Amino acid sequence: MAEDVQCPLCGTLAKRDTLKSLDGYRYACGECGGSFEIGHGAQRLAERGQMRPDVVMAVRTLIAEGKTPRIELEAVQAEFTVLPDVK
Ligand SMILES: [Zn+2]
Ligand 1 midpoint to CA 77 (Å): 25
pLDDT averaged per 10 residues in sequence order, the chain, 87 residues: 95 96 96 98 95 97 98 92 95
What confidence score (pLDDT) does residue 75 get?
Answer: 84
- Return d(Cα 58, Cα 35) in angstroms, integer: 13
Measured in Å, residue 60 CA sits from the centre of ligand 1 at 9
Ligand 1 mean position to 15 CA, how many Å? 10
Task: For the full predicted model, state whether its pTM sits above 0.85.
Answer: yes
Q: Give the Å distance between the CA of 76 and the centre of ligand 1.
A: 27
What type of residue sits at position 23? D
CA atoms within 13 A on the CB side of 57: 3
Question: In whole angstroms, what is the distance from residue 41 CA to residue 60 CA?
Answer: 20
Concatenating the DSSP letter of every residue in 54-84 gives HHHHHHHHHHHTT---EEEEETTTTEEEEES
DSSP β-ladder status, 34-38 and 70-74: parallel
So what's the pLDDT on residue 87? 83
Residue 21 Cα to ligand 1 middle (Å): 22
